[in-house]
Amino acid sequence: MHFPHVTIAVPDWVGAFCASWSSGFATVQARAAFVVALSQQNVSHETGGPFAAAVFDPLEGHLIAPGVNLVVPSSCSAAHAEIVALMVAQQIMGTHDLGAAGLPALELVSSTEPCAMCLGAVPWSGVRGLVCCARGTDAEAIGMDEGEKPPGWIVALENRGIRVMRDVCRVEAAAVLQGYVAGGGLIYNGRCG
Amino acid sequence: MHFPHVTIAVPDWVGAFCASWSSGFATVQARAAFVVALSQQNVSHETGGPFAAAVFDPLEGHLIAPGVNLVVPSSCSAAHAEIVALMVAQQIMGTHDLGAAGLPALELVSSTEPCAMCLGAVPWSGVRGLVCCARGTDAEAIGMDEGEKPPGWIVALENRGIRVMRDVCRVEAAAVLQGYVAGGGLIYNGRCG
C-alpha cells in the first residue's frame, strides 16, 4: 500500500511580499502590522482564509518564517496560519523545537488569536512569545469557529514561559476579517454537528 | 525571499505493514489493535515517538489513512500521529473536510488520547468519531506533556456530533508507552518553561 506525501508550502506571492516589506520588524507593532497585511494579502490573492501568522526573532527584528491559512487550497484542515508558520520556521531551523539551546527566543505573531488547535500547538513549538492581533471573538463575529479553549489559557502559556500579548493592531486585524466576509469569503470552519 | 516546502509523509515501512495486516478492520477492537500495533512499529523502526493513529471508514471496515508520530524526524512539532493521519486522509479524499457531503462517516482512532493540539484539530477535520486507546494520563505517566485540555472535552465533541470512545485496547496501548520509555526513548515534549 502507498500513502501520499503531504506538502505544505506558502504561496509563491508570499516571498515577494516579504521582500517588499520596508517597515522592518523592530517593534511588536511593526511585526503585527506585517502579519495583518499578510492576512489581507491572503484574501486578495484568494489563496486561503483571512488569517496570517509569522515567526520572528524579536530581539534582532528578523522575520524567520511567514504563514497563511491554506486550509481549503491545501485540502488540509490543520493548515491554519500558525501551524504553517511554525512548520516553515522549524524546517528552516532544522529542529522541531524552536526553543532549543543555541536558538534565539522566538515569537509567534498571529493575526487572530489562535483557535483551540493552534493554541495547543504553541507549547510544542518552542516559541517563547505569542502576540495576537484580533481576538477570537472577532473571528466568531464573522462566523468562524474557534473551538473549545481551556479557560485560563493565557496564564497556562505564561506558566510555560511563553509571554502573551493581545490586541496589537486589533482594529486593523478585525477589519480584514470583516472585509473577508463582506466580500463573500467562504466560512469553511462552520461544521457544528 | 524563498521559504521551504514542508513535506509530511509516513515512513516507507508503513505501507508494507498495512498491507500485511490480516485481521481486518470490521470492529472497533480490530481497528484499535491495528493502531496500537502501528505505534509499536514506530518505536521498533525508530521513526518517531510511541504514538499512532488512523482514519477508518468503520461501516465498511476500511483503512483510509495511517499516521505515526514524526515530530523529531520531520523537524515538525505538529507532526503528531493524529495530525499526520488526518492530513494523509484529507490528501487522499481531496478535501479539508472529511465530513463533506458524499463521504462516509469517518472515524479517527488514536493509540493515545489526543493532546490539547490534536483535540482541537478533531472538529476541524470532519471525522464523526474518535476512538482512544491509552489515556492521556498513561502518556503523562512516562513524562509526556498532554497540554491544557478544556474540561468537558468529551461532551464538547459529542455536542459537535463526534462520537467518542475511550479505553479500547488501553492496556496494550499503555504497554507500548511503557516499553518506549523503558527502552530509553526520547521524551521530546517535556519543555515546561
Segment 144-163 of chain B within 8 Å of chain A by CB: 145, 147-153, 156, 159-161
Name the superfamily (CATH) of residues A20-181: Cytidine Deaminase, domain 2 (3.40.140.10)
Q: Among all chains, which residue has been given the C-alpha cell 505573531?
A: A109
What does the pLDDT look like over A67-109, one tens digit per residue? 999 999 999 999 999 999 999 999 999 999 999 999 999 999 9
Mark yes or no for CB contact A15/B5 under 8 Å: no
CA atoms within 13 A on the CB side of B137: 4
The answer to whether the predicted template modeling score (pTM) of the entire model surpasses 0.95 is yes
Length of chain B: 193
**Hey, which residues 26-55 in chain B have their CB within 8 Å of chain A?**
none
Task: Note the pLDDT of residue B189.
Answer: 61
Q: Are B75 and A66 within 8 A, CB to CB?
A: no
CATH superfamily of B12-182: Cytidine Deaminase, domain 2 (3.40.140.10)
Grid cell listed for A93: 531551523
- What ranges make up the beta strands (E) of A107-149? 107-112, 129-134
Candidates B162, B176, B49; CA nearest to A96 is B49
**pLDDT given for residue A188 in this prediction:** 72
Compute the distance between CA of residue B109 and CA of residue B192 in angstroms, rounded to an integer: 28
Edge-to-edge order in the sheet of strand A52-57: A62-68, A52-57, A107-112, A129-134, A163-165
Taking residues B166-186, what's their average pLDDT?
A: 96
The C-alpha of B54 sits at a distance from chain A's nearest C-alpha, in angstroms, of 12
Interface touch A88/B160, C-beta < 8 Å? no
pLDDT, tens digit (0-9, with 9 covering 90-100), for B123-164: 999 999 999 999 999 999 999 999 999 999 999 999 999 999
AA letter at A48 = G
Q: Which residues pair with B55 in a beta bridge?
A: B65, B108
The mean predicted confidence, pLDDT, of chain B is: 95
In sequence order, the 6+-apart residues with CB closer than 8 A to the CB of A57 are: A64, A104, A105, A106, A107
Phi and psi of A173, rounded to 5°? -65, -40
Residue A19 Cα, gap to closest chain B Cα (Å): 6
| Cα–Cα distance for residue pair B37/B39, rounded to 1 Å | 5
Could you give the CA distance from residue B188 to residue A7 in angstroms, rounded to a whole number? 24
Backbone angles phi, psi at B64, to 5 degrees: -95, -55
Q: Considering chain A, what is the average pLDDT of its residues?
A: 95
